């Protein structure tokens, strides 16, 4: 779902030509990404998100509404018909690599060597290899070997 303008009641884009700024405008606050993380880990019900994050009900309600408006989550009636579930859309599922990159950055820089932390593993039980940006030939790239081309 491509967004061309902020939704009603939102401020203008932070930097209209920058994909990083637009992405942060859409999902960059702490609670939104934690909700997305938990949805990727199987949370579906309002109470699931509240218990996992410790977020206040009013803030959770607001963030769920925004994530639905932005096409990251969709609301579905639970099989029991008694409550609503929140499920990642394809747009939301596309944030997986972003969440993995943040997780791996956090593993490297947010914990002391002696601290334990959760671990993301693949179907075989092995940790995911470290994500690294590469060029079209598969060679590693970084801040010294890339540049941003801005529209005129």
pLDDT reported for residue 3: 56
pLDDT reported for residue 96: 98
Supply φ then ψ for residue 21, to 5 degrees: -65, -45
Give the residue ranges of DSSP H helices in 54-152.
Answer: 57-69, 90-93, 96-109
Architecture field, domain 19-95 = Orthogonal Bundle (1.10)
pTM: 0.86
Confidence of residue 14 (pLDDT cuts 50, 70, 90): confident
């Amino acid at each position: 779902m491509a967004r061309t303008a902020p939704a009603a009641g939102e401020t203008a884009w932070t930097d209209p030509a920058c994909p990083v700024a637009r992405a942060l405008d859409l999902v960059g606050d702490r609670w939104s990404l934690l909700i997305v993380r938990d949805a990727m880990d199987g949370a579906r019900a309002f109470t699931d998100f509240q218990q996992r994050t410790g977020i206040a009900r009013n803030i959770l309600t607001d963030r769920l509404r925004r994530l639905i408006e932005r096409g990251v989550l969709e609301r579905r009636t639970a099989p029991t018909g008694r409550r609503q579930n929140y499920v990642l859309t394809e747009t939301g599922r596309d944030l997986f690599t972003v969440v993995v990159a943040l997780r791996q950055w956090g593993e490297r820089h947010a914990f002391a060597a002696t601290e334990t932390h959760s671990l993301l593993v693949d179907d075989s039980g092995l940790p995911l290899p470290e994500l690294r940006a590469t060029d079209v030939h598969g060679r590693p790239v970084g801040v010294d070997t890339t540049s941003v081309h801005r529209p005129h």
